[in-house]
Amino acid sequence: MQRLGEKMRMLRKRHGMTTTELAEALGYAASSNSYISEVETGKRRPKIEFVLKVSRLFNVPADTLIKDELELDEDQV
């Protein structure tokens, strides 16, 4: 799960979103963008509910986000 933040950042950027926009799209207050940044940089480990929201938003299997050995497909990013 060490690469979760890296994958999340890649998905966010490919969709042209800021951390604030991602926070809002996930149903969090815009001020939660610092939390998003901390997850992306590996400073914070998210709860599974957060991972599932990211998975649903970007239409990516949660396994792909969680398992370090799995890569994002080109059509997922």
- For 11-66, write each residue's pLDDT tens digit: 999 999 999 999 999 999 988 899 999 999 999 999 999 999 999 999 999 999 99
Rg (CA), the chain: 11
How many structural domains comprise the chain? 1
Residue 59 placed within a domain = yes
pLDDT computed for residue 73 by the predictor: 80
pLDDT computed for residue 68 by the predictor: 85
Domain that holds residue 14: 4-65
1 and 45 Cβ atoms separated by less than 8 Å: yes
- The CATH number given to whatever domain includes residue 50 is 1.10.260.40
Question: Region 69-74: what's the mean pLDDT?
Answer: 84
Q: pTM for the complete prediction?
A: 0.88
Residue 72 placed within a domain = no
Residue 45 placed within a domain = yes
Residue 73 placed within a domain = no
| Cα 70–chain centre separation | 15
Residue 58 placed within a domain = yes
pLDDT computed for residue 3 by the predictor: 92
